[in-house]
Amino acid sequence: MFQDESFQASSFASCWKKEAETRASHTQTSELLMYDAEVQTKYTTESVTQTEQPQVGEVSLAACEDPSSLAAFLQRVEGSVCQQLLKNTQTRAFEDYSVMWEEPVAMVSCIHQLADELTLEKKFSATDLSWNSTGTVLAVSYGHMGHQSWCVHEGCVGVWHLGRQPRGSPLRPGRCSLRILAPSCAMAVACHPTEPALLAAGTFSGELCVWSVASDDSEQLVARSGLYHNGHHEPVSQVTWLEDSQARKQDYNLISLGTDGKVLLWKLIQNDQQLQLLCGFHLHQQGVWQGAGQSSRPSDTVTEIGATCLGFSLEDKTLFLVGGENGSVLKCSLNRHVPEASPLSEVEEHRFPSPITFSFQPHHGPVYTLSPSPFHRNLFLTCSTDASARVYSLLESAPLLTIDPCQGFLYSCVWSSTRPMVLILGTQTGQLLVYDLQKSQVAPVEVLFVEGLGLGPVLGISFNHSRPQVLAAVHSSGHVMVWRMSSQLAAARQGEEKRLEDLASQTLTAYS
- Ramachandran region of residue 509, left (φ > 0), alpha (ψ -120 to 50) or beta? alpha
The CA distance from 255 to 22, in Å, is 127
Domain range annotation of the chain: 109-511
Note the CATH number of domain 109-511.
2.130.10.10
8-state DSSP, 130: E
Look up residue 292 and give its DSSP letter: T
Judge whether 491 and 418 are in contact, CB under 8 Å: yes
Distance CA 98, CA 493 (A): 8
Query: Tens-digit pLDDT profile for the chain (512 aa)?
Result: 677 777 777 777 777 766 677 788 877 788 878 888 887 766 777 777 766 666 655 555 566 677 888 889 999 999 999 988 888 888 777 665 656 656 667 788 888 889 888 888 888 899 999 999 999 999 999 998 877 778 888 889 999 888 765 554 444 447 888 899 998 999 999 999 999 999 999 999 999 999 998 876 677 889 998 777 788 989 999 999 998 877 777 789 999 999 999 999 999 988 878 888 988 999 987 656 554 444 444 444 567 889 999 999 888 888 999 999 999 999 999 887 654 445 555 544 457 888 999 999 999 999 999 999 999 999 999 999 999 999 999 999 999 999 999 888 999 999 999 899 999 999 999 999 999 998 988 999 999 988 767 788 999 999 998 888 999 999 999 899 999 998 888 887 878 888 889 888 876 554 44
> What pLDDT, on the 0 to 100 scale, is given for residue 482?
93
Alpha-carbon distance values, 369 to 257, 318, 459 (Å)? 13, 20, 9
The neighbour count for residue 137, using CB atoms within 10 Å, is 22
CB 401 within 8 A of CB 441: yes
Distances (CA, A) of 389 to 291, 386, 405: 19, 9, 8
CA–CA dist 390, 395 (Å, integer): 15
Does this model's pTM top 0.85?
no
Distance between CA atoms of 508 and 490, rounded to whole angstroms?
30
